[in-house]
C-alpha cells in the first residue's frame, strides 16, 4: 500500500540547499517536505566546505540562523596568497571599502543549525529514504515517491519539486531528453587530499599556496582544529598517504622562512576529485534544480556552498511568489536569474584553479604565466580588488518574498 500526501514543494536532498530552501519557504508560508537518503548523523558529519562569503553570512543572519555562526564563526579580513616561497596578505575588507569579508564556519555546522531549526518547526523532514522517484514532470502537479526508513512507500503530489540532491542525484537525470539545452563540463587531472586535524591552525587567515610540486591550502575549523589540503593526482590511492607523509608534504609546500607548521593527530582524510559542470536551464517546467544538482565548481574559489545558498534564496522568493501569490514571473525566470552568478563563480573557480595547480612536467610557459598572474594580484590594486569582489560574494543575496521584480544585478561595485 502506498500512502498518498499533498504538499506545496517536494524537496529532494537534505544538504545545505534543500534544508535552507525548506526554512525560507516556511518563513514565506509555503509548505514543503524534505527527503534524504542518508541518516541525520551522516549529513551532520560530512566534511566539506568551510569558507562563507559575507553575502551568505548576511543572509543566514537575516533569516534567524546567525546565532551560533556569530558566536563560533571565524571572521577573516582576507586570505594569504603564497607563491615562489613568498606569502602575501590580500585584505578583502580594505579592498571592498569595508563592505565585504569572509567567515570560516563549517558546512557541517550550518547543516546542524538548519536541521535543528526545521525540527523545532516540526517540518516534514525524512532521513534514510530509498527508491526516490520524481514523475509527472510535464504536469502542474509533479509527484515525488519514496520509501521511508520503515519500508513504507509514499507518493506526494506537489505544486513544485526542488532537486537539491547534489551532483549524483536523481532529479537532473529525470529531465526528459532535450530539456537541458547546455551541459558544460570540464575535468581536471588532479584532486585534493583533505585532512581534518587536531592541530591548532598555524595561520590567522587561510593560505592558498602555489608550489612547484603542487597546490596546498591551509584552512581551519576552530582555534583547535585545522583543515588542510594537498593537490594530488586525480586517481591517487589514499593508502599511499600515511599521516607522516601528509604532514611532511604540507610542511614542504607551505614553508616560508621563520614559519612552522603545527602538526597533530589526523581525525579524517579523503580525496576529492575536481570538476566544473553547469546544466542549463536549471529548471524543467515545475521542477527546479539548486546547488550541486545544477552546477559543480572545483573548490579553489570556495564557491560551491555559497552558490547553493544563492540559488535557494532566489528559488524561495520565486516559489513563494508563485504558490502564495499566484505570480509565476520569478519562477519562470529562476534559471536566468541564477546563471549570471553561476557563470561568474564558475570562471573564478576555474581561473584560481588554473593559476595555482602545477602538474608534473608542466610547460615552463604555463608556469611563468601562473607566476605572472599571482605577482599581478599582489602588486596591482585593481587586480587585487577584482579578486576581492569575486571571492567575497557579489550583490546581496535576494530573499524577498514581497518582491515583484528581478534580482538586483550582480555589480554593486560599479555604481
300 is in the binding site of which of ligand PHB, ligand RFL, none (Cβ under 5 to 8 A by kind)? ligand PHB
Stretch that binds ligand PHB, among 49-57, 66-74, 287-295, 376-384 (CB under 6 A): 49-57
- For ligand RFL, the closer of residues 85 and 270 by Cβ is 270
Selected binder of ligand PHB within 279, 302, 312, 339 (CB under 6 A): 302
* 50 forms part of the interface with ligand PHB (CB under 6 A): yes
Q: Looking at 68-76, 90-98, 162-170, 175-183, which segment touches ligand RFL (CB under 6 A)?
A: 162-170
| Contact partner, 305, from ligand PHB, ligand RFL, none, Cβ < 5-8 Å per class | ligand RFL
Considering only residues 4 to 23 of the shown chain, the ones binding ligand RFL according to CB under 6 A are 12-18
Q: Does 201 bind ligand RFL (CB under 6 A)?
A: no
Q: Which residues are catalytic?
A: 76, 208, 299, 303, 391
Positions 193 through 222 that interact with ligand PHB (CB under 6 A): 206, 219
392 touches ligand PHB by CB under 6 A: no
> Rounded to the nearest whole angstrom, what is the least distance from the CB of residue 162 to ligand RFL in the complex?
10
SS3 of the chain: the string is CEEEEECCEEEECCCHHHHHHHHHHHHCCCCEEEECCCCHHHHHHCCCCCEEEHHHHHHHHHCCCCHHHHHHCEEECEEEEEECCEEEEEEHHHHCCCCCCEEECCHHHHHHHHHHHHHHCCCEEECCCEEEEEECCCCCCCEEEEECCCCCEEEEECCEEEECCCCCCCHHHHCCCCCCCEEEEEEEEEEEEEEEECCCCCCCCCEEECCCCCCEEEEECCCCCEEEEEEEECCCCHHHCCHHHHHHHHHHHHCCCCCCCCCCCEEEEEEEEEEEEEEECCEECCEEECHHHCEECCHHHCCHHHHHHHHHHHHHHHHHHHHCCCCCHHHHCHHHHHHHHHHHHHHHHHHHHHHHCCCCCCCHHHHHHHHHHHHHHHHCHHHHHHHHHHHHCCCCCCCCCCCCCCCCCCCHHHC
169 forms part of the interface with ligand RFL (CB under 6 A): yes
Choose the contact partner of 12 out of ligand RFL, ligand PHB, none; CB within 5 to 8 A by kind: ligand RFL
Binding-site partner at residue 374 among ligand PHB, ligand RFL, none, CB < 5 to 8 Å by type = none
Residues contacting ligand PHB: total by CB under 6 A: 9
Which residues make up the interface to ligand PHB (CB under 6 A)?
49-51, 206, 219, 227, 299-300, 302
Which residues make up the interface to ligand RFL (CB under 6 A)?
12-18, 35-38, 43, 48-51, 107, 129, 132, 164-166, 169-170, 192, 194, 272, 291-292, 299, 302-306, 308
Amino acid at each position: 500500500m502506498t500512502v498518498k500526501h499533498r504538499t506545496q514543494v517536494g524537496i529532494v536532498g537534505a544538504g545545505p540547499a534543500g534544508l535552507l530552501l525548506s526554512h525560507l519557504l516556511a518563513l514565506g508560508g509555503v509548505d514543503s517536505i524534505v527527503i534524504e537518503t542518508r541518516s541525520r548523523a551522516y549529513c551532520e558529519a560530512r566534511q566539506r566546505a568551510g569558507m562563507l562569503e559575507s553575502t551568505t553570512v548576511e543572509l543566514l543572519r537575516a533569516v534567524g540562523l546567525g546565532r551560533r555562526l556569530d558566536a563560533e564563526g571565524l571572521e577573516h579580513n582576507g586570505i594569504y596568497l603564497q607563491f615562489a616561497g613568498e606569502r602575501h596578505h590580500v585584505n578583502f575588507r580594505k579592498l571592498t571599502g569595508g563592505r565585504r569579508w569572509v567567515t570560516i564556519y563549517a558546512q557541517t555546522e550550518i547543516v546542524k543549525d538548519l536541521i535543528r531549526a526545521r525540527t523545532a518547526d516540526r517540518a516534514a523532514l525524512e532521513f534514510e529514504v530509498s527508491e526516490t522517484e520524481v514523475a509527472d514532470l510535464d504536469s502542474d502537479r509533479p509527484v515525488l515517491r519514496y520509501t521511508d526508513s520503515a519500508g513504507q512507500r509514499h507518493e506526494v503530489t506537489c505544486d513544485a519539486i526542488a532537486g537539491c540532491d547534489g551532483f549524483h542525484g536523481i532529479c537532473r537525470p529525470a529531465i526528459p531528453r532535450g530539456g537541458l539545452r547546455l551541459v558544460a563540463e570540464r575535468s581536471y587531472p588532479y584532486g585534493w587530499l583533505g585532512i581534518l586535524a587536531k592541530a591548532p591552525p598555524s595561520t590567522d587567515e587561510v593560505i592558498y599556496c602555489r608550489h612547484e610540486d603542487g597546490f596546498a591550502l591551509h584552512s581551519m575549523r576552530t582555534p583547535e582544529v585545522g583543515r588542510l589540503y594537498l593537490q594530488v593526482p586525480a586517481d591517487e590511492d589514499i593508502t599511499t598517504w600515511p599521516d607522516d607523509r601528509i604532514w611532511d608534504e604540507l610542511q614542504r609546500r607551505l614553508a616560508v622562512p621563520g614559519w612552522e607548521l603545527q602538526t597533530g593527530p589526523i581525525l579524517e582524510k579523503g580525496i576529492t576529485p575536481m570538476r566544473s559542470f553547469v546544466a542549463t536551464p536549471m529548471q524543467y517546467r515545475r521542477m527546479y534544480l539548486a546547488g550541486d544538482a545544477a552546477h559543480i565548481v572545483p573548490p579553489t574559489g570556495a564557491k560551491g556552498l555559497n552558490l547553493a545558498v544563492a540559488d535557494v534564496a532566489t528559488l524561495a522568493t520565486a516559489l513563494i511568489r508563485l504558490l502564495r501569490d499566484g505570480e509565476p514571473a520569478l519562477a519562470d525566470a529562476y534559471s536566468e536569474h541564477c546563471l549570471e552568478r553561476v557563470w561568474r563563480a564558475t570562471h573564478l573557480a576555474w581561473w584560481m584553479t588554473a593559476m595555482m595547480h602545477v602538474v608534473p612536467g608542466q610547460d615552463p610557459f604555463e608556469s611563468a604565466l601562473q607566476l605572472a598572474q599571482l605577482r599581478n594580484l599582489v602588486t596591482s590594486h585593481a587586480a587585487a580588488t577584482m579578486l576581492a569582489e569575486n571571492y567575497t560574494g557579489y550583490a546581496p543575496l535576494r530573499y524577498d518574498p514581497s518582491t515583484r521584480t528581478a534580482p538586483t544585478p550582480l555589480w554593486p561595485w560599479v555604481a
